Structure formats: structure tokens, C-alpha cells
Amino acid sequence: MDSTPSTSTISKSVLLVLRVLTFVFLLISLILIAIDKGTEDTTNGPLEAKFNDFHAYRYMLSTTVIGFAYNLVQMAFSIFTVVSGKRVISGDGGYFFDFFGDKIISYLILSGSAAGFGVSDDLHSFFKAQELPFNSFFAKANASATLLLFAFLFTAIASVFTSLALPKKT
């Protein structure tokens, strides 16, 4: 009797690991952007910048929260599947939910990361020219966008596994 786990079991386990990694990166990204604020001294007193002062950072936070919620649901589904060997959503619908959900959420997360990188670069250049570098503020925002990019990569890889699980039509 061969005690090697089946390819299906390995795929389900790898998918769970990818979901956990995505969860961790989204959680840290969420914390970093939510607490991000910076203060610079000016001749008129201190000037404060917070993430919610900029639309692109609010968009980045929104995509992180949406990705986090979706990933939390998918992580629960994956844990159930690995433990019980059964799917939460049976039939073809569950496979399509996983596949299309992963595709949509991965690109949503990517767009949030891109928005964060873009606004950080533009604003940092602008504030440096005004001799208000806000280095710590933009470093945290870039760190959050980087973690969001890693979350995209793990979700995109997960979508490859969910595409392999799609029902084959002959």
C-alpha cells in the first residue's frame, strides 16, 4: 500500500498554504496603511498627513479589505475541504466561484497595490520639492503596497490551482 498523498490532496494543501500566506500579507498591509501618518515641521507649524487624506490610499485600503474578506472566506472553505475531504459549495458552481473569485480579487488587489505605488511616488516627489519629505509616511505606504503586491502573487498562483480544478467538458 502506497502512503504517498494523492495529487488532489497536495493541491488542496498547497491552496490552503497560499490562502494563509495571502491572509498574512493582506493583514500586515492593512495594518500598515491604516496606521500610516506622518508629521513635518513647517514655518506655520506641524503639517500632518494621514492615509485617508489621499484618494489612492483609501482605494488601496478598500481593495485590501475586500481581498481580506474574500480570502478569509476562501481560507475557511479550504480548511473545511482539507479536513473533511468535501467541498463547501458542491457541484460545478463551487469550482467556478473559486476560479472567477480568485481572478477578480487578484486583479483588484493588484490595482490597489499599483495605486499605492503610483501616489507614493508622485506625492513623495512633490513633498520633497517643498522640502517636506514625509519619508516615514511614504515608506510605510510603500511597504503596504509591496505586501499587497505579494498578496496578489499568492492569489494569482492560487487561481492557477483553482483553474486546474475546473470541470473538464468533453
Beta bridge pairs of residue 49: 38
The pLDDT value recorded for residue 169 is 61
Close Cβ partners of 88 (under 8 Å, ≥ 6 residues apart) = 76, 77, 80, 81, 94
Q: Tell me the C-alpha to C-alpha distance, in Å, between residue 41 and each of 51, 125, 139.
A: 18, 18, 18
Q: How far apart are CA 57 and CA 167, in angstroms?
A: 39
Q: Decide: pTM greater than 0.95.
A: no
- For the segment 54-101, what is each residue's pLDDT rounded down to a tens digit? 999 999 999 999 999 999 999 999 999 889 988 888 788 888 999 999
CA nearest neighbour of 105 among 162, 53, 144: 162
pLDDT band at 9 (very low <50, low <70, confident <90, very high): low
Strand intervals (E) in 20-146: 37-42, 45-50
Question: Is pLDDT at 5 greater than 50 in this prediction?
Answer: no
Q: Kindly state the cell numbers that stand for 45.
A: 507649524
Going by their DSSP bridges, the two strands 45-50 and 37-42 should be labelled as: antiparallel
The pLDDT value recorded for residue 89 is 85
Q: Kindly state the cell numbers that stand for 70.
A: 474574500
If one compares 95 and 105, the residue with the highest pLDDT of the two is: 105
One-letter amino acid of 105: I
The pLDDT value recorded for residue 151 is 98
The pLDDT value recorded for residue 167 is 76
CB 155 within 8 A of CB 29: no
- For the segment 120-152, what is each residue's pLDDT rounded down to a tens digit? 999 999 988 888 888 999 999 999 999 999 999
The sign of the CA dihedral 113, 117, 122, 123 is positive
The pLDDT value recorded for residue 10 is 66
